[in-house]
Amino acid sequence: MDWEKVGLKMGLEIHQQLDTESKLFCPCRTELTDSEPDHDIVRNLRPTQSELGKFDRAAFEEAMRKLHFHYENYHEETCLVEADEEPPHPLNPEALEIAVTIALLLNMRVVDEFHTMRKQVIDGSNTGGFQRTGLVATDGHLETPQGTVKIENLCLEEDAARRIRETGDGVVFRLDRLGIPLVEITTDPSMSDPQQLREVAYQIGQILRSTRVKRGLGTIRQDLNISIRDGARVEVKGVQDLDLIPEIVEREVKRQLSLVEIRDTLQERGAVVEDKIFDVSEVFADTESRIISSAESVLAVKLRGFDGLIGVEIQPGRRLGTEMADYAKKRGVSGIFHTDELPAYGITEEEVRGLRDAVGASQGDAVVMVAHERVTAENALREVIRRAEMAIQGVPEETRKALPDGNTQYLRPLPTSSRMYLETDIPLFRIEDDLLEGIRRNLPELPSEKKERIMRDYGLSEDLASQLVKRNLVDEFEALTEFRVDTTVIASLLAYTLRELRREGHDVDGLGLDELRDAIKLLEVGKISKDALRDIVACMADEGLAAEDAARKLNLLLLAEDEIESIIQEIVEGNLDMISERGMGAMGPLMGQAMGRLRGRADGKVVNRILREKIQERL
Amino acid sequence: MLKMETVDKVDMIKNHGLTASENLEKFLKRIEAKNDDINAFLEVRGEEAIKRAEEIDARIASGKETGKLAGLVIGVKSNINVEDFNVSAASKTLENYTGSYDATVIRRIKEEDGIIIGMTNMDEFAAGSSTETSFFGPTDNPAAPGRIPGGSSGGSAAAVAAGMCDLALGSDTGGSIRNPASHCGVMGFKPTYGAVSRQGLLDLAMSFDQIGPLAADVSGISLALDVISGYDPADPTTLDSSPDLEVERELKGLRVGVVREFLEVTDEAIDEVIQGKLGAMEDEGAEIVELDFGYIDLCLPTYYLINYVEFFSATRKYDGRKYGHRIEDVCGSEVLRRIHMGSYISQKELSGKYYKRALQARSLIRREITGLLSHVDIIAGPTVPKLPHTLGEELEPMEMYAYDVLTVIANLAGIPAASIPAGDVGGVPVGLQLQAKPGDDGMIVSAMREIASL
């Protein structure tokens, strides 16, 4: 596709949790919890009319759903700050330091004063009704093969409460995530090549990983902003797989182009959406269709001039009808029926004719119907009407969710005029030059640089090196290379062995660098063999023993050469018949016996050498 | 009658020379006689106050210990929460709202045996400089009858000027303590931002607001400051340590900054009074240092933009559900103007155009003024650049805002500032403003003491 021609514009917004000791404005840990909450706070959402006489579009939409917000909170894991019952504490300087580090790696200009601001949030995920945020840096850039990309802003902000589940009357949030420090990185919104978008997302990801940020699912969130010339700005949330970005963009462009085409056709046809909702239950009084007959009522609307367009595919497997259904589903129905797909679902051709008659639809008109309890069905059809009207206007501005196949699905309208003002409970924070210089002098290596370096300096394979980098183990690795031991042994202990042991159920998390140091030291001084390392570490983890004690317990301490000799002597003397019979051919079986007794306590090479000598003595 | 210093009065009460009840009685009579004309107090609760005074007298009679404010009678601006009083902010919005708790400053005053006598008049939600926007009618200026008392703490200043109480509390967001103190010929003090807890103060603009005292003499100011300042866990913007109020510096050798631009924007007649006072200080050995401040034109726009945004945010709780009436339905035009402007400016997409620039300008002004202060001990100049207008005269908003040009700087920069009587122009009082470095509240009190004795 010719991106220039369609006027594609894209931007990226990345949210990344920081791995700090405590939250941004209170001393709580930054870990999530799955334990049973100690309290539940219930609050009601009531949108206030703004002074300009308008409801905030997004707030109004939420309010239409009459929500109660439940907040799960804890004695230990959360405090009154998250519940918005206690003023925030001063800014966490550790979080600011990490944010500044990231900003410098993105070639940004760091501000001299950090002003905490309140950004209005109305979906209930922030107990105060606002998110605290502050600008840390501006005007950065990254180089990509497709050209320079400007990084507009980096903000330090609080993560929102975790949405746990929806109940009949509202939403349950958990306060454990609320207040975990996040950086929000926004690029210039004028990229026009999907590959560049992917590349920038990748590079920012690499930079983030070189600093103290959280790892794992949900700790980084990528949002894409996509628009084309005749379309509208759409924000795609929840992109997990960076390789999917070009596909998402392509499919979103296709969707917007198709919607523009549908708009043109609708306008040509003079399409009109009628407000009236018809009760067509009569038509289906004796229907064979299970879904219809089990519903309390069947309601329908007439979309004049829409015939054939609701079934037009706008993304692979998704039609205009799917978009309408997404809106309707927000009001509690499981789906809609439209005449472009009927007869189907057990609805007969005759019933379709009856349906058309009942609403007075002529050729060229489409009918959308919903079978459900009356009030819900009516609300759902109002949404269909709303979405159909938007189709005549073109592409609506929306927040959409990324689906695993690269399609996107309607989530909510883009919020209107969100407000921002000073958080007057928190004094401003001066970013002194000293702090900035200190950070600038100690900027971390980027992951790619780090990988190259450890491959070069320690002779590691690319695979091992990238595992260490990916798992953030390079510091530990380098600490352990103080011992004169094969670096590959150390690297694979960190990168693979520990992971395998964990998977097998050994509690290796209790092992710190000091414990590993002890174990490696035994190897350096020749007290154990490298083959024994794995079992010794497992035993240390399971029983909390020191390395040497574990080795002794497992009988894995290497024997002195004379001890080995005397054991081999014993074996040779017990097998003199075999030796005289087979000569050096007895090596194999006797080596097996010897290793059976000496496994882990003697190096195979040494055993081999001594055994060979002892047999030769007898020949 | 010889005027008695506030601190001497406390001693007298503690030493059986005067009873708290007698002190209170005198004020109640004064209020009874004068308040209908002046309208300084919106609510007076005499009976409770009498009980409180008797209780303090009983303690003194039996030789028990009493607090630093023992028996002093105190008026409170109507935007500070006092349990069981009508905390109306002089607005119809809260006409029926009764305080359900004591603000931290009130708790501290009561702990030191101060007697709260009533709630004073003010501009609606403190959004004004004349006390004319009160829903309960304007306050007259006891020192210059027929003129505005200034504002927004006009009722507190008038109450002190008319001898209706020993001390009064006001709040100062852009000059609301210093401006009426200047117009009414009394002393008013705005502490360093964070020196006094704002817990229990109805917000106007939270990053500027600060509670402070008004009094007829310096000892009253320093007594009150000593009691109300200090860290408060309920207000995260309070400073860890209280300002040192024990400073004693004579005028000899005191480096007094005089900012040329402050005098340039001031009416000539006021300028003369101020020059006279500065001359007297110089005669006593003060060293006058001329300073330049290049951002005087930025001050009002910066101050008002931030004020609007924070005020908009602060008023969102007055939606008619929990407290009184919905603010937009019943408030006056100045309050409504600020709400509308704040709502407009705080939109995220406009923030680059107005609000962000205002915050940047604020940092600039703060840096500039603290830079000037690093060369001197205090900055002295006029408190208000013009005389108070006559009651009922209509002013355009920008004319009204022009009263504040010299006082907003201290709020923008968070520094301490005070106004002390400097003289008069045809009988209308003129105040001298003193400003100092953050935390140097004691330096100002010390200078006030010296200047008052000139």
Amino acid at B171: S
Q: Which two tokens stand for residue A196?
A: 């560049």
pLDDT of B189 higher than 60:
yes
Q: Which two tokens stand for residue B187?
A: 């002393």
- Total domain count, chain B: 1
Q: A201-250 pLDDT, tens per residue?
A: 999 998 998 899 998 888 999 999 999 999 999 999 989 888 899 999 99
Mean pLDDT of A391-399: 94
Whole-Å CA distances, B196 to A263, A605, B412: 62, 80, 17
A vs B, Cβ pairs < 8 A, gives 60
Taking the CA of residue B271 and the nearest CA in chain A, the distance in Å comes to: 36
Same domain, A389 and A490: no
A297 in any annotated domain? yes
B156 in any annotated domain? yes
User: Pick the catalytic residue: B130, B152, B156, B219?
Assistant: B152
Q: Which two tokens stand for residue A252?
A: 């979103």
The ipTM (two decimal places) reads 0.74
Q: What pLDDT sits at residue B260?
A: 95
pLDDT of A545 higher than 70:
yes
How far, in Å, CA of B184 to CA of B429, rounded?
A: 6
Name the closest residue on chain B to residue A419, using Cα atoms. Answer: B347
pLDDT of B102 higher than 70:
yes
pLDDT of A599 higher than 80:
no
Q: What CATH number is given to the structural domain containing A573?
A: 1.10.10
Q: Which stretch of A45-54, A128-137, B102-111, B114-123 has the lowest confidence by average pLDDT?
A: A45-54
For residue B83, the tally of other CB atoms under 10 A from its CB is 16
Query: Are B194 and A427 an interchain contact pair (Cβ–Cβ within 8 Å)?
Result: yes
Same domain, A537 and A567: no
CA B135 to chain centre: 20
Per-chain mean pLDDT for chain A: 90
pLDDT of A50 higher than 70:
no
B176 in any annotated domain? yes
Q: What pLDDT sits at residue B2?
A: 47
Residues with Cβ within 8 Å of A285's Cβ and at least 6 positions away in sequence, in order, are none
A254 in any annotated domain? no
Q: What pLDDT sits at residue A410?
A: 93
B422 in any annotated domain? no
User: Pick the catalytic residue: B21, B88, B130, B176?
Assistant: B176
Query: Are B236 and A90 an interchain contact pair (Cβ–Cβ within 8 Å)?
Result: yes
pLDDT of B199 higher than 80:
yes
Mean pLDDT of A415-438: 84
Residues with Cβ within 8 Å of B296's Cβ and at least 6 positions away in sequence, in order, are B261, B262, B265, B405
Q: What pLDDT sits at residue A104?
A: 96
pLDDT of A43 higher than 90:
no
Q: What pLDDT sits at residue A259?
A: 96
Q: B62-96 pLDDT, tens per residue?
A: 999 999 999 999 999 999 999 999 999 999 999 99
Query: Are B310 and A424 an interchain contact pair (Cβ–Cβ within 8 Å)?
Result: yes
Q: What pLDDT sits at residue A414?
A: 78
Q: Residue A59 belongs to what domain range?
A: 15-228
* DSSP assignment letter at A531: G
Put simply, whether B149 touches A (Cβ < 8 Å) is: no
Taking the CA of residue B194 and the nearest CA in chain A, the distance in Å comes to: 9
Q: B26-71 pLDDT, tens per residue?
A: 999 999 999 999 999 999 999 999 999 999 999 999 999 999 999 9
Annotation says B152 is catalytic: yes
Query: Are A419 and B346 an interchain contact pair (Cβ–Cβ within 8 Å)?
Result: yes
Q: Is A26 helix (H, G, I), strand (E, B) or coil?
A: coil
> Do B157 and B214 form a contact (C-beta atoms < 8 A)?
yes
Amino acid at B85: F
Report residue A56's pLDDT band, with 50, 70 and 90 as the boundaries.
low
Mean pLDDT of A374-389: 93
How far, in Å, CA of B23 to CA of B73, rounded?
A: 8
A438 in any annotated domain? no
Q: Residue B84 belongs to what domain range?
A: 6-228
How far, in Å, CA of A383 to CA of A421, rounded?
A: 33
Residue among A50, A418, A420 whose CB faces B343 most closely:
A50
Query: Are B363 and A424 an interchain contact pair (Cβ–Cβ within 8 Å)?
Result: no
Last residue of a domain, one of A228, A251, A285: A228
**Hey, which residues 6-25 in chain B have their CB within 8 Å of chain A?**
none
A506 in any annotated domain? yes
B160 in any annotated domain? yes
As beta bridge partners, residue A156 has: A134, A183
Query: Are A424 and B351 an interchain contact pair (Cβ–Cβ within 8 Å)?
Result: no
Q: What CATH number is given to the structural domain containing B144?
A: 3.90.1300.10
Report residue B431's pLDDT band, with 50, 70 and 90 as the boundaries.
very high
Same domain, A301 and A209: no
Percentage of chain B surpassing pLDDT 90?
91
N-terminal to C-terminal alpha carbon distance within chain B: 21
Residue among A46, A51, A418 whose CB faces B343 most closely:
A51
Name the closest residue on chain A to residue B328, using Cα atoms. Answer: A51
Taking the CA of residue A275 and the nearest CA in chain B, the distance in Å comes to: 33
Same domain, A220 and A329: no
Q: Is A303 helix (H, G, I), strand (E, B) or coil?
A: strand
Same domain, A387 and A467: no
Q: B327-385 pLDDT, tens per residue?
A: 999 999 999 999 999 988 887 667 667 888 898 999 999 999 999 999 999 999 999 99
Q: What CATH number is given to the structural domain containing A404?
A: 3.30.1360.30
Amino acid at A407: N
Residues of A in contact with B363 (CB under 8 A): 112-113
Amino acid at B283: D
Taking the CA of residue A190 and the nearest CA in chain B, the distance in Å comes to: 18
Residues with Cβ within 8 Å of A500's Cβ and at least 6 positions away in sequence, in order, are none
Q: Which stretch of A182-186, A586-590, B111-115, B201-205 has the lowest confidence by average pLDDT?
A: A586-590
pLDDT of A51 higher than 50:
no
Q: Which residue matches tokens 């069905």?
A: A377
Mean pLDDT of B288-312: 95
Residue among A52, A90, A422 whose CB faces B343 most closely:
A52
Query: Are A48 and B319 an interchain contact pair (Cβ–Cβ within 8 Å)?
Result: yes
Q: Is B298 helix (H, G, I), strand (E, B) or coil?
A: helix
Q: What pLDDT sits at residue A59?
A: 54
Taking the CA of residue B309 and the nearest CA in chain A, the distance in Å comes to: 7
Report residue A47's pLDDT band, with 50, 70 and 90 as the boundaries.
low
> What share of residues in chain B are helix, strand, coil (percent, to 5)?
40, 15, 40
How far, in Å, CA of A587 to CA of A575, rounded?
A: 11
Residues of B in contact with A424 (CB under 8 A): 203, 205-207, 237, 310
pLDDT of A273 higher than 70:
yes
Same domain, A543 and A475: yes
CA A439 to chain centre: 28
B425 in any annotated domain? no
Annotation says B92 is catalytic: no
How far, in Å, CA of B224 to CA of B214, rounded?
A: 9
- Total domain count, chain A: 4
Q: A83-102 pLDDT, tens per residue?
A: 999 989 999 999 999 999 99
Mean pLDDT of B205-225: 97
* DSSP assignment letter at A497: I
pLDDT of A332 higher than 60:
yes
Taking the CA of residue A426 and the nearest CA in chain B, the distance in Å comes to: 6
Residues with Cβ within 8 Å of A375's Cβ and at least 6 positions away in sequence, in order, are none
Torsion (CA) B378, B381, B383, B384 in degrees, nearest 10 = -160
- The DSSP result for B327-387, as a single string, is HHHH--HHHHHHHHHHHHHTBGGGTTTTHHHHHHHHHHHHHHHHHHHTT-SEEEEESSSSP
A250 in any annotated domain? no
Residue among B234, B313, B321 whose CB faces A421 most closely:
B313
How far, in Å, CA of B273 to CA of B433, rounded?
A: 12
Same domain, A119 and A194: yes
Q: What pLDDT sits at residue A52?
A: 41
Name the closest residue on chain A to residue B233, using Cα atoms. Answer: A87
Q: Which residue has the higher pLDDT, A477 or A44?
A: A477
A175 in any annotated domain? yes
Q: Is the peptide bond before A343 cis (omega within 30 degrees of 0)?
A: yes
How far, in Å, CA of A512 to CA of A7, rounded?
A: 54
Annotation says B176 is catalytic: yes
Q: What pLDDT sits at residue B390?
A: 97
B380 in any annotated domain? no
Q: What pLDDT sits at residue A53?
A: 43
How far, in Å, CA of A320 to CA of A311, rounded?
A: 6
Q: B321-343 pLDDT, tens per residue?
A: 888 899 999 999 999 999 999 98
Put simply, whether B194 touches A (Cβ < 8 Å) is: yes
Among A89, A422, A430, the strongest candidate for a mutation testing the B interface, having the largest count of B CBs within 10 A, is A422
